[in-house]
Amino acid sequence: MERVHFIGIGGTGLSAIARVLAEQGVSVSGSDRALSPLAQELIASGIPVALGHAAENVTGADLVIRSSAIPDDNPEVLAARARGIPVLKRADFLPRLLKDKRVLAVAGTHGKTTTAAMLAWVLTALGYDPSFIVGSVVHNLGKNAHAGKSDWFVIEADEYDRMFLGINPWVAVVTYMEHDHPDCFPTFEAYREAFEQFVGQIRQGGALLVCGDRPETFELAFSAPEQVQAYSYALHTPAHYRIADASPNAQGGFSGTILFRGSVLARLDLQIPGEHNLANALAAFATTHFLGMNPEEAAKALHDFSGSDRRFQVLGEEKGILVINDYAHHPTEIRSTLAAARARYPRRRIWAVWQPHTYSRTRALFNEFCRAFSDADRVIVTEVYAAREAQEDFSASQVVSQMLHSGAIFLPTLDKVTEYLFQELQPGDVLMVLSAGDADRVCAEVLHHYQNGSAFVSGEKTHD
C-alpha cells in the first residue's frame, strides 16, 4: 500500500485506522462531509482531509476504504471503481491490518469502548506498547489509535455492519449482549448469530471472556472453538472472575476485591463512576491475567485510568452547574449512566437530555426507553437524530407521551433545549447530555452561557 484514501475519515472507526496506518508510514488521505474533532486532529498530525466528497479526492490512491455510512453512489466510490481502485469497508480491510498481530478484541452491545480503552491503557502502562483502535479518545493516552512496537493489538470489535467478522482474535471479550442495531439485525436471533460467528473465529490456544451477569452473553461460551479456553466474569453471579465487597469509594468510583476461582488476586479501586465500569475493569483485568501479566500492576493501572471522551466525560462546572457528556443511546446504557450519576451525586438534581439515535432503534426499544430514566429528576427528550436513516413519520414525542416520569418533556430542537435549560437550571444541578449524535453541542452552549452570561450559538454539526 503506497497511499490509502478514506471516505468518511472523521468517524471513530476510520479515523483510528487512518492514524494507525499513518504511524506505520503509509501515505494517508481522507474526506468527509464535515470536519469532526477527530478529523481535525488528523489534519493537525499532517494527514490531508478534504471537506466534502469529490471524484478528484481519490486521485493517486492505491486503495480506498469507506465508512459503512457511505453509499455506493458516492462520487469517490464511483470514481475509484471506474479507475480500478479497490474499495473496501472496515471488515474487509481489518485482516490486512491485523495480520501477524496478537489481537485482543473487545465486543459487546455495551461497555466495549471503555473496556478496550482500559485494556490499551493497562498494556501501555505495563510497558508493552500495544497497537490499539478504540471508539473514543482515551484520556490517559491522548488519542483513539496508535501503532505500537509490540505484536499486541487491542481493538474495539464493533458489531455494526458485522465489522467484527473481519477479526480473528487471540483473546475475545464479550462484555454484554442484548439486541441493538435493528437496522442491521432485525431480530435478536440475527444479532446473536453474528456474535456466535465472531466467537467462532478465535484462534486456537486463545481465550474467550464473557460476562456471566447476562445469560445470553454467558451462553456464547458454548460457541467457542475447541482448544479455546472460555472464562466468565461477573459482579452478581458465580463466575471464574468475581468482584467481592463492591462498594462506592471516596473518589466517586467503585472498589472491590478481585477473585479468580475464589482466590484473591488484587484490590481494585476505580476513579471513574458507575458499577458497570467495575465490570468493564474486571474484563480488562481478566484479559491481562490470562496473558500472564502482574495482577497488582494491572490493578494499579486501572486505578489510574481516567476515562475516554463522551463516556461520563465531565466537561466543567459553571455557576454551580456541572455538565457531563455521555454517548449513552441504548436503554441499558442510559440506565447505567444515570445510576452512576445518582451514586456519585446523591444530593444533586440530575437533568438528563436525551437525543434518540436512529428511528429503527427508537421504535424497536420503545418500551425500554420509556422506563430508562428513573434516576433522573428532570428529563428532556429531543427529536430523533436520524444518522444514516431516512426521515420517517415518527416523533420522539411519542416516547415521552408513554413515559411515567413526571419530569419528562419533549423539546424537538437543540436550540429549544438550550433555551429551556438557560431558564431552568439552578446551582447544584447536574446536566447529563446523552447522545450518539450532535446533542453534545448543548454541553458547550450551556457552559459558554454560564461563563459569559449570554447564549452561545454554535455552528451546525453533522456526523456519519
Q: Which positions make up the binding site for ATP?
A: 108-114
Helical H segments across 101-252, by residue range: 112-125, 188-199, 215-218
Please give the grid coordinates belonging to residue 78. Answer: 464511483
Please give the grid coordinates belonging to residue 148. Answer: 505500537
Give the integer Cα–Cα distance in Å for 191 and 193.
5
Name the phi and psi angles at 180, rounded to 5: -155, 175
Return the exposure string of 361-370: e unless at least 16 CB atoms fall within 10 Å of the residue's CB, then b. Answer: bbbbbeeebb
Beta strands in 52-183 (DSSP E): 63-66, 87-88, 102-107, 131-138, 143-146, 152-156, 171-174
Please give the grid coordinates belonging to residue 92. Answer: 474487509
∠284-287-292 over CA atoms, to 5°? 130
Identify residue 377 by its one-letter amino acid code. D
Please give the grid coordinates belonging to residue 193. Answer: 448469530
| Active-site pick, 12, 112, 175, 333 | 112
311, 116 in Cβ contact below 8 A? no
Query: Under 8 Å CB-to-CB from 65, ≥6 apart: which residues?
Result: 4, 5, 6, 7, 14, 17, 87, 88, 89, 90, 93
∠359-357-161 over CA atoms, to 5°? 85
Give the residue from 433, 464, 429, 434 showing the smallest Cα distance to 450.
429
379, 408 in Cβ contact below 8 A? yes
Look up 382 and say whether it is catalytic.
no
Q: How far apart are the first and last CA of the chain?
A: 26
Q: Which positions make up the binding site?
A: 108-114
Give the integer Cα–Cα distance in Å for 284 and 120.
9
Give the integer Cα–Cα distance in Å for 365 and 379.
18
Say how far residue 381 (Cα) sits from the centre of its chain. Answer: 21
∠30-8-5 over CA atoms, to 5°? 30
Beta strands in 393-439 (DSSP E): 408-410, 430-434
| Active-site pick, 12, 76, 101, 113 | 113
- Mapped onto helix, strand or coil, the DSSP state of residue 435 is coil
- Within 10 angstroms of residue 441's Cβ, the number of other Cβ atoms is 21
Hey, which residues does 32 pair with through a beta bridge?
A: 51
| Active-site pick, 12, 115, 156, 333 | 156
Look up 112 and say whether it is catalytic.
yes
Look up 56 and say whether it is catalytic.
no
Give the integer Cα–Cα distance in Å for 214 and 222.
14
Known catalytic residues?
112-113, 156
